[in-house]
Amino acid sequence: MYKKHIEEYIDAHRQEMIDDISLLCRINSEKTAYQEGKPYGEGASRALALALSMAEKYGFSINNYDNYVGTADLNEKEKQLDILAHLDVVPAGEGWTVTEPFEPVEKDGKLYGRGTADDKGPAVAALYAMRAVKELGIPLSKNVRLILGTDEECGSSDIRHYYDVEEEAPMTFSPDGSFPVVNIEKGSLQGHFTAEFEPSDAVARVIAIKAGTKANVVPGKAFAVFEGLDDNLVRDTGAEVEKETGVSFEIQGRNHTLEITAIGEGAHASLPTEGKNALTALLLLISRLPFAPCAQIEALHSLVKLFPYHDTSGEALGVAMEDELSGALTLAFDLLEVSEDSLDATFDSRCPICANEENVLEPARRRLAEHGFTLTNETMTPPHYVDGNSDFVKTLLKAYERYTGRKGTCESMGGGTYVHSLKNGVAFGAAMPETDNRMHGADEFAVIDELLVSAKIFAQVITDLCR
* 75-87 confidence digits (pLDDT tens): 999 999 999 999 9
Query: What secondary structure letter does DSSP report for 375?
Result: E
Q: Could you tell me the residue range of the domain that residue 171 belongs to?
A: 1-184+382-464
Cis geometry, peptide bond prior to residue 11 (ω within 30 degrees of 0): no
Beta bridge partners of 413: 185
pLDDT at 327: 92
Q: Out of 36-40, 279-283, 378-382, pick the least confident.
A: 378-382
pLDDT at 52: 98
Tell me, yes or no, whether 221 and 306 share the same domain: yes
Residue 219 has pLDDT above 80, yes or no: yes
For this structure, is 88 an active site residue?
A: yes
Residue 348 has pLDDT above 90, yes or no: yes
- Contacts with 270 (C-beta within 8 Å, 6 or more apart), sequence order: 186, 216, 330, 348, 350, 413, 414, 415, 416
State the number of CA atoms in the 13 A half-sphere of 34 facing the CB: 6
Residue 38 pLDDT class (50, 70, 90 cuts): very high
pLDDT in tens, 253-271: 988 999 999 999 999 899 9
Tell me, yes or no, whether 69 and 180 share the same domain: yes
Contact 139, 467 (CB under 8 A): yes
Tell me, yes or no, whether 173 and 191 share the same domain: no
Report the pLDDT averaged over residues 69-79: 97
Report the pLDDT averaged over residues 210-231: 95
Tell me, yes or no, whether 340 and 403 share the same domain: no
Residue with the larger pLDDT of the pair 440 and 466: 466
Tell me, yes or no, whether 223 and 353 share the same domain: yes
Please state whether the predicted TM-score (pTM) of the whole model is above 0.85.
no
pLDDT at 416: 75
Tell me, yes or no, whether 228 and 203 share the same domain: yes
- How far CA 402 is from CA of 201, 349, 393, 451, 455, in Å, comes to 68, 36, 14, 16, 13
Report the pLDDT averaged over residues 243-253: 97
Tell me, yes or no, whether 313 and 409 share the same domain: no
Residue 129: which of 188, 200, 58 has the closest Cα? Answer: 58
CATH of the domain at 342: 3.30.70.360
pLDDT in tens, 284-321: 999 999 999 999 999 999 999 999 999 999 999 999 99
Q: Is 226 in a helix, a strand, or coil?
A: strand
Residue 1 has pLDDT above 80, yes or no: no
Tell me, yes or no, whether 353 and 204 share the same domain: yes
Amino acid found at 365 = R
Total domains in the chain come to: 2
Tell me, yes or no, whether 31 and 102 share the same domain: yes
Domain C-terminal end among 321, 348, 373: 373
Report the pLDDT averaged over residues 445-457: 98
Domain C-terminal end among 327, 350, 373: 373
> What does the mean pLDDT of the chain come to?
96
Report the pLDDT averaged over residues 67-81: 98
Long-range contacts of 230-239 (CB under 8 A, 24+ apart): 231/258, 233/289, 233/290, 234/258, 234/260, 234/285, 234/289, 237/285, 237/288, 237/289, 238/285
Please state, in angstroms and rounded to a whole number, the distance separating the CA atoms of residues 299 and 163: 43
State the number of CA atoms in the 13 A half-sphere of 15 facing the CB: 0
- Write out the H or E segment, with its range, that includes residue 57: helix 42-57
Buried/exposed code over 246-282 (b: 16+ C-beta within 10 A; e: otherwise): ebbbeeeeeeebbbbebbbbbbbbbbbebbbbbbbbb
For this structure, is 391 an active site residue?
A: no
Q: Out of 64-73, 140-149, 211-220, pick the least confident.
A: 211-220
Domain C-terminal end among 350, 373, 396: 373
Tell me, yes or no, whether 53 and 10 share the same domain: yes
pLDDT in tens, 391-440: 999 999 999 999 999 999 999 888 778 888 899 999 999 999 999 999 88
Residue 177 has pLDDT above 90, yes or no: no
pLDDT at 415: 73
Please state, in angstroms and rounded to a whole number, the distance separating the CA atoms of residues 128 and 91: 27
Find the catalytic residue in 88, 118, 185, 450.
88
Distance, CA of 267 to chain centre: 9
pLDDT in tens, 116-165: 999 999 999 999 999 999 999 999 999 999 999 999 999 899 999 999 99
pLDDT at 435: 95
CATH of the domain at 105: 3.40.630.10
Tell me, yes or no, whether 171 and 251 share the same domain: no
First to last CA, the chain: 11
Find the catalytic residue in 152, 153, 176, 348.
152
pLDDT at 413: 85
pLDDT at 155: 86
Tell me, yes or no, whether 357 and 450 share the same domain: no
Residue 105 has pLDDT above 80, yes or no: yes
